[in-house]
Chains A and B, each alone.
Chain A
């Protein structure tokens, strides 16, 4: 029942014996962020009736959850803690179709979360939209920040639009924004930034919370032109997807220097090629 503590020269990640992410600590800056209930949740897709907007189904174009409260994908989880010199990691399995690996490489200034989701079960005839949520003690209020196709990062305010009087109808979907490369929340002392390895949808539905939409599987078309449900059942069981989040904890003033360099490392990562070599090393060299 020991904790799984991942620590290098710059970052400490604390995960308890039940597989709950507890803290990420920036050791050089003495900054800490506390997490509550970090993990996978799912929204139930609105089935709709394929006709008018007020009855519109959640589908490829439309995110329309039935409830504003996503459900955890499991109540228990298993954790495997791996420690080596180059890398330390915690593999946390939530259920048969959702798991994450929290990874800390030697000398890295960030933690990675490699998530794996799918095939999403729909044999209960309920469409599901899977998020990974980070609930933190960052006092971010109703503001969060998302990029716009890798260009200007814009401040988003929950339940608000800067250029018109906004009436809240969709409490979750109405606050979702594209996250092409990064999303962050911050308070006076610290900024929690997540880099994504692909375009995702994301939001901050509560103070201190960040969630990102990872995978969706639905049984109804949203009647906006595709004519097929976003089901991806061509191979009989739906798709498995795997991706990465890179987590930075820094002061607000220093964060840009870290997430910009981190983003370049991520999006312009080295290209690996492999070659079969017939010679032994002395001959090859």
Chain B
């Protein structure tokens, strides 16, 4: 029943046209709080599912929690932005395989490995000044790491990020003109 909190919050929000502004500001805050609590509860379900899906056969489930980042649209994911190593697991809910370009806001350069362990093309794209000055943004990430993920139908792939320890020659060229 853990997803009930989110489905109920969504139901309340949709029933009351919560995105339209036809409520007092205090009520808008309440909708936002309900959605936030629902998302937190939903994250527990995601972790329960991945604890079954991620372990290799015969091994215990990993104790590493899977976290959500809700502010990647303003290039903010404080949990991972300057970590030495982290993974990004992408779940494809559609019944077709998809290719999807994905952005991870970071403060440093990383090598990205696909699920087979092969390093893949990833490029650091600078975060715009307009994004940096958005009120409430606290991230110090100056770049988005852009890579292309290939995902199976109704399934997932995990990409492994490892910080580059020394100046490695950039394989990809990013050209910027003003």
The verdict on A268 contacting B89 (CB below 8 Å), with A82-B125, A99-B128 known, is no
Q: Are A277's CB and B87's CB within 8 A?
A: yes
Nearest chain B CB to A162 CB, angstrom units: 25
The verdict on A87 contacting B146 (CB below 8 Å), with A273-B46, A275-B64 known, is yes
Taking the complex as formed, is B148 at the interface, i.e. its CB lies under 8 A from any CB of chain A?
Answer: yes
Taking the complex as formed, is A232 at the interface, i.e. its CB lies under 8 A from any CB of chain B?
Answer: yes
B100 in complex: contacting residue of A116, A269, A281, CB < 8 Å: A269
Q: Are A84's CB and B123's CB within 8 A?
A: yes
Interface residue range, chain B = 35 or more
Taking the complex as formed, is A152 at the interface, i.e. its CB lies under 8 A from any CB of chain B?
Answer: no
A265 in complex: contacting residue of B98, B113, B121, CB < 8 Å: B98
Interface residues of A in 224-252 (CB under 8 A from B): 224-228, 230, 232, 234-235, 237, 240, 242
Q: Are A79's CB and B121's CB within 8 A?
A: no
Residue of A82, A83, A216 with highest tally of chain B CB at under 10 A? A82
Taking the complex as formed, is B4 at the interface, i.e. its CB lies under 8 A from any CB of chain A?
Answer: no
A116 contacts across to B, CB distance below 8 A: 130-131, 134
The verdict on A225 contacting B88 (CB below 8 Å), with A274-B69, A277-B160 known, is no
B22 contacts across to A, CB distance below 8 A: 60-61, 224-226
B87 contacts across to A, CB distance below 8 A: 274-275, 277
Nearest chain B CB to A271 CB, angstrom units: 4
Nearest chain A CB to B53 CB, angstrom units: 11
Taking the complex as formed, is A12 at the interface, i.e. its CB lies under 8 A from any CB of chain B?
Answer: no
The verdict on A280 contacting B85 (CB below 8 Å), with A270-B98, A274-B69, A275-B65 known, is yes
Q: Are A277's CB and B86's CB within 8 A?
A: yes
- Count of chain A residues near B, Cβ 8 A: 58
Q: Are B77's CB and A274's CB within 8 A?
A: yes
The verdict on A273 contacting B25 (CB below 8 Å), with A80-B178, A85-B172, A87-B123 known, is no
Q: Give B residues with C-beta under 8 Å from A.
A: 19-25, 28-29, 46, 50, 62, 64-69, 72-74, 77, 79-80, 83, 85-94, 98-102, 113, 117, 121-123, 125-126, 128, 130-131, 134-136, 146-149, 151, 160, 162, 172-178
**Known pairs A84-B172, A284-B160. 15 more at Cβ < 8 A?**
A4-B177, A83-B176, A85-B172, A86-B121, A87-B125, A116-B130, A116-B134, A224-B22, A228-B24, A264-B94, A270-B98, A270-B100, A274-B87, A275-B65, A276-B80
20 contacts between A and B (CB under 8 A): A80-B176, A80-B178, A84-B172, A89-B125, A99-B130, A106-B148, A116-B130, A116-B131, A216-B21, A230-B21, A269-B100, A270-B90, A274-B69, A274-B80, A275-B87, A276-B79, A276-B80, A277-B86, A277-B87, A277-B160
